[in-house]
Amino acid sequence: MHLANRVLVTGGAGFIGSHICDRLIDKGYEVLCVDNFFTGARANVAHLLDAKTFELMRHDVTFPLFVEVDQIYNMACPASPIHYQFDPVQTTKTSVHGAINMLGLAKRVKARILQASTSEVYGDPSVHPQEESYWGNVNPIGPRSCYDEGKRCAETLFFDYHRQHNLDIKVARIFNTYGPRMHPNDGRVVSNFIMQALRGEDITLYGDGEQTRSFCYVDDLVEGLIRLMESPDGITGPINLGNPGEFTIKELAEHVIDLTGSKSTMIHKPLPQDDPKQRQPDIGRAKEHLDWQPEIALRDGLTKTIAYFDGLLKEMS
Ligand code: NAD
Ligand code: UDP
């Protein structure tokens, strides 16, 4: 049986990582949050700094880390195209060297380790919805490749450490997630649209806006990640975690305009290279193995996220 008390969250000061830290502290774990603050911020975990069971450490996972823990959530990696394309070599290093370092740590201290993989391993998918058995359609040399191929290589490393060293691994393939503490300038569609709507600026649809995404509220995702981490030994994944509700980008814009009461209008901008046309998770495995499915509807999640960004804008003014 796997018993855990001390948990390492890499990328713990980021959007998803900080929500994991919150939930783990609530559940009574000791949490070590490690981050180099490239896209994360102390502010995301500032409310935890007084907790006796919480520790924050500045560290870059591309360098080895020597700590004693029972579980590792390996979340460190910029997730938005603007940020991961800013220094693509560092992005690949974070995924690949970061995975090697965290897997080495897990091996030394016999910890269970969960990898934050991504729907991007499916690339621009030719199978819809995406099941875990689909191997993907990924450009190895494009602008998104540092992220997509970095994450694919990290999955390879996880499964090789599992086969070669019997490591206790869990691999989650996360689909588009949104919620409070998303970076306001990360260029992602939910944060862009909400900020544009709240400021009364034009809403920028890339391409015709008919491409689809499936948006999962962060609380649902974190529940799925923790269930996966706490699942029985034999369940390694990969397991898709996301919300199967599929929307066009134009529909998302309409919801945001409606919920903010904004006077913003939609304009079209060129579609970025290699932008996937559609994306929707098949979450059959998560339902079967984790008894998990998202509970929060898009409009409810958007309402909470809009309130967060509204608060940020008021702080900034
Ligand atoms: P984020 O950018 O908010 O968080 C990533 C965190 O990792 C940040 O705090 C950043 O400072 C830190 N980081 C980056 N490089 C690091 C390094 N070398 N060493 C230490 N820390 C480093 O992004 P997020 O949305 O919270 O994503 C978290 C994880 O989930 C990422 O691995 C991402 O690939 C994965 N993921 C996210 C989504 C999504 O929709 N948000 C979808 C699929 C996968
Ligand atoms: N997108 C858009 N307007 C924006 C930002 C993004 O139309 O201001 C589109 C983007 O081209 C993509 C979708 O929204 O088709 C989701 O983009 P995001 O960067 O959030 O995530 P990803 O492409 O990684 O799924």
Domain harbouring 145, CATH code = 3.40.50.720
**Is the C-beta atom of 74 inside 6 A of ligand 1?**
no
Residue 3: per-residue pLDDT: 64
Residue 213: per-residue pLDDT: 92
Domains: count for the chain: 1
Are 75 and 17 within 8 A, CB to CB?
A: yes
Residue 73: per-residue pLDDT: 98
In a domain, 108, yes or no: yes
In a domain, 73, yes or no: yes
Taking alpha carbons only, the member of 236, 178, 237 closest to residue 19 is 178
In a domain, 233, yes or no: yes
In a domain, 257, yes or no: no
**264 token code pair:** 């913003």
**3-class secondary-structure state, position 265:** coil
Secondary structure of 113-164 in HEC code, one letter for each residue: EEEEEEHHHHECCCCCCECCCCCCECCCCCCCHHHHHHHHHHHHHHHHHHHH
Are 26 and 11 within 8 A, CB to CB?
A: no
In a domain, 106, yes or no: yes
Residue 261: per-residue pLDDT: 96
Residue 275: per-residue pLDDT: 85
In a domain, 48, yes or no: yes
* Residue in 29, 147, 161, 217 annotated catalytic: 147
Residue 2: per-residue pLDDT: 67
DSSP conformational letter for 65? -
Specify the residue with its C-alpha closest to ligand 2, atom 14: 189
- Ligand 2 centroid–CA 267 distance in Å is 14
Q: Which ligand gives the minimal distance to the CA of 211?
A: 2
**99 token code pair:** 């995975």
Q: Of all atoms in ligand 2, which is nearest to the CA of residue 120?
A: 24
Residue 274: per-residue pLDDT: 80
**Is the C-beta atom of 216 inside 6 A of ligand 2?**
no
DSSP conformational letter for 286? H
Mutate to test the pocket of ligand 1, among 10, 20, 34, 39 (most ligand atoms within 8 A of CB): 39
Specify the residue with its C-alpha closest to ligand 2, atom 13: 189
In a domain, 208, yes or no: no
Specify the residue with its C-alpha closest to ligand 1, atom 17: 60
Residue 143: per-residue pLDDT: 94
**Is the C-beta atom of 16 inside 6 A of ligand 1?**
yes
Mutate to test the pocket of ligand 2, among 190, 249, 251, 252 (most ligand atoms within 8 A of CB): 249
In a domain, 317, yes or no: no
Tell me the residue range of the domain where 12 lies. 6-178+217-243+281-287
Residue 5: per-residue pLDDT: 94
Residue 1: per-residue pLDDT: 57
Residue type, 255: H
**221 token code pair:** 């995702």
**Is the C-beta atom of 36 inside 6 A of ligand 1?**
yes
- Ligand 1 centroid–CA 261 distance in Å is 31
178 has catalytic annotation: no
**Is the C-beta atom of 105 inside 6 A of ligand 2?**
no
- Ligand 2 centroid–CA 249 distance in Å is 8
Q: Where are the alpha helices (DSSP H) in the chain?
A: 15-26, 81-84, 88-109, 145-165, 189-199, 218-229, 249-260, 284-290, 298-316
- Per residue of the chain (317 residues), give pLDDT as tens: 566 799 999 999 999 999 999 999 999 999 999 999 999 999 999 999 999 999 999 999 999 999 999 999 999 999 999 999 999 999 999 999 999 999 999 999 999 999 999 999 999 889 989 999 999 999 999 999 999 999 999 999 999 999 999 999 999 999 999 999 999 988 999 999 999 999 999 999 999 999 999 999 999 999 999 999 999 999 999 999 999 999 999 999 999 999 999 999 999 999 988 888 888 999 999 999 999 999 999 999 999 999 999 999 998 87
**260 token code pair:** 């903010």
Mutate to test the pocket of ligand 1, among 8, 74, 75 (most ligand atoms within 8 A of CB): 75
Long-range contacts of 188-196 (CB under 8 A, 24+ apart): 188/80, 188/81, 189/213, 189/249, 189/252, 190/215, 190/252, 190/256, 190/302, 190/305, 191/309, 193/252, 193/253, 193/256, 194/256, 194/260, 194/302, 194/305, 194/306, 194/309, 195/309, 195/313, 196/264
Q: Which residue has the tokens 């199967």?
A: 244
